[in-house]
């Protein structure tokens, strides 16, 4: 499948679509982009150089992207842009929360857009990626062709509270280990306690906290959950390089402590700036990380949007029902976007 063509007609590309997505296409270009404040973002472009520009906005924040995410897009129709947000993946410095706010990430998107010579693009984001898509779209609606959103999260206080305590009602075994990473005296304010530990420079302090945070979230992310990761490794001494799960735990706590660096309800209040644009929303019925009420609220405030609730899915974009829905969404958007990258009526 990796040898499938990245060009040709849309019909020929559709022949290669499978249940797991489109074939991966070769990387056309990649690099590290200096966005200021000491941050350098890793980016890649794949697909059709003349295709519809689409930018993949990963979750977390802190999760980064992988090559599997390119497979949501028909490589014959789309110019596929992926990048690791500040502190994530291959961007540098790794797991840094310095100069890392929603406003910084929105500005980074504009820098990347200009760097790649993109006039307008489709925004594709799930979980935190949906938050960033809405924040960017409301700041720069004139640069957006449309939205594909999944597992919507708006960084509202009740969503943060649910993440910290509500998910544990359904996964008490992982929640017990989430609590056990903190001494009893610190458990009265979980977010503050975790933030202090995750922000600490000593891996013997931030390591166990990051492992517990990321493991609990992972246990809650799918309808059919994987076996729990179990107790953390015996030692976090910093001698084996950066911890792969540090960025997602540290950055998530950082953004939650600061309520997404936005006023409560700001993204819902700002829907009027973008609700003239097309929007397709996919939501797992049994999403424990980002429950469906938030996607419903966005849909209610966006009369032209479409919301599909997948009955047999949780939070992960790679669950079969969610994956199929996202593939259908990108195919639908490709039909609606004209060759000159305008939208059909």
Spatial distance between the Cα atoms of 130 and 147, rounded to a whole number of angstroms: 9
The radius of gyration computed from the CA coordinates of the chain, to the nearest angstrom, equals: 20
Of the residues 84, 215, 315, 316, only one is catalytic, namely 315
Of the residues 88, 127, 215, 305, only one is catalytic, namely 127
Q: What is the pTM of this model?
A: 0.91
H helices within the chain, ranges in order?
10-14, 102-115, 128-139, 157-161, 172-180, 190-199, 203-219, 246-257, 266-269, 292-300, 320-336
CA angle centred on 126, ends 198 and 72, rounded to 5°:
125
**Catalytic residue check, 287:** yes
Tokens of 155: 């960084």
Tokens of 146: 């449309």
Supply the pLDDT for residue 2: 27
Supply the pLDDT for residue 282: 98
pLDDT (tens, 9 = 90+) of the chain, 345 residues, equals 223 323 333 333 343 566 679 998 899 999 999 999 999 999 999 999 999 999 999 999 999 999 999 999 999 999 999 999 999 999 999 999 999 999 999 999 999 999 999 999 999 999 999 999 999 999 999 999 999 999 999 999 999 999 999 999 999 999 999 999 999 999 999 999 999 999 999 999 999 999 999 999 999 998 887 665 555 665 676 555 668 899 999 999 999 999 999 999 999 999 999 999 999 999 999 999 999 999 999 999 999 999 999 999 999 999 999 999 999 999 999 999 875 665 554
Pairing of strands 27-36, 144-150: unpaired
Supply the pLDDT for residue 7: 34
Spatial distance between the Cα atoms of 237 and 301, rounded to a whole number of angstroms: 49
Q: In the chain, which residues fall in CATH 3.40.50.1820? A: 10-155+262-336
**Catalytic residue check, 225:** no
Spatial distance between the Cα atoms of 168 and 133, rounded to a whole number of angstroms: 28
Spatial distance between the Cα atoms of 294 and 200, rounded to a whole number of angstroms: 32
Residues 231/270, Cβ–Cβ less than 8 Å: no
Tokens of 294: 């938030």
DSSP class of residue 23 equals P
Question: At residue 120, what are phi and psi to the nearest 5 degrees?
Answer: -135, 150
Supply the pLDDT for residue 224: 83
**299 Cβ neighbours under 8 A, 6+ residues apart:** 281, 305, 306, 307
Supply the pLDDT for residue 9: 32
**Catalytic residue check, 25:** no
Distances (CA, A) of 154 to 79, 219, 288: 27, 21, 15
Tokens of 277: 């644009």
Half-sphere exposure (Cβ direction) of 317: Cα atoms closer than 13 Å: 30
Distances (CA, A) of 222 to 93, 98, 157, 336: 30, 31, 23, 31
Residues 74/264, Cβ–Cβ less than 8 Å: no
Supply the pLDDT for residue 311: 96
Architecture of domain 10-155+262-336: 3-Layer(aba) Sandwich (3.40)
Of the residues 91, 287, 299, 316, only one is catalytic, namely 287
């Amino acid at each position: 499948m990796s040898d499938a063509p990245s060009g040709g007609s849309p019909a020929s590309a559709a022949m290669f679509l499978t249940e797991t997505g489109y074939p991966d296409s070769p990387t056309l270009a990649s690099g590290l982009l200096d966005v200021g404040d000491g941050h350098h973002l890793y980016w890649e472009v794949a697909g059709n150089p003349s295709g519809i520009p689409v930018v993949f906005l990963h979750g977390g924040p802190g999760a980064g992207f992988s090559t599997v995410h390119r497979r949501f897009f028909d490589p014959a129709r789309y110019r596929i842009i992926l990048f690791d947000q500040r502190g994530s993946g291959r961007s540098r410095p790794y797991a840094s929360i310095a100069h890392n706010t929603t406003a910084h990430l929105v500005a980074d998107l504009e820098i990347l857009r200009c760097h790649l010579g993109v006039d307008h693009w489709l925004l594709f984001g799930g979980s935190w990626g949906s938050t960033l898509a809405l924040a960017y779209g409301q700041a720069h609606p004139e640069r957006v062709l449309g939205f594909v959103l999944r597992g919507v999260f708006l960084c509202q206080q009740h969503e943060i509270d649910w993440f910290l305590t509500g998910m544990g009602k359904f996964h008490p075994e992982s929640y017990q280990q989430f609590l056990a990473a903190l001494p009893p005296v610190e458990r009265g304010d979980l977010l503050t306690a975790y933030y202090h530990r995750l922000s600490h420079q000593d891996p013997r302090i931030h390591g166990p906290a990051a492992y517990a945070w990321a493991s609990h979230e992972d246990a809650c992310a799918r309808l059919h959950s994987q076996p729990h990761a179990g107790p953390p490794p015996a030692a976090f001494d910093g001698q084996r390089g950066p911890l792969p799960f540090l960025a997602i735990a540290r950055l998530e706590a950082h953004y939650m402590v600061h309520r997404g660096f936005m006023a409560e309800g700001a993204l819902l209040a700002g829907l009027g700036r973008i609700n003239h644009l097309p929007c397709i929303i996919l939501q797992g019925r049994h999403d424990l990380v980002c429950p469906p009420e938030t996607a419903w609220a966005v849909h209610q405030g966006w009369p032209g949007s479409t919301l599909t609730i997948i009955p047999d899915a949780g939070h992960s974009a790679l669950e079969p029902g969610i994956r199929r829905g996202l593939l259908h969404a990108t195919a639908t958007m490709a039909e609606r976007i004209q060759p000159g990258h305008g939208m059909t009526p």
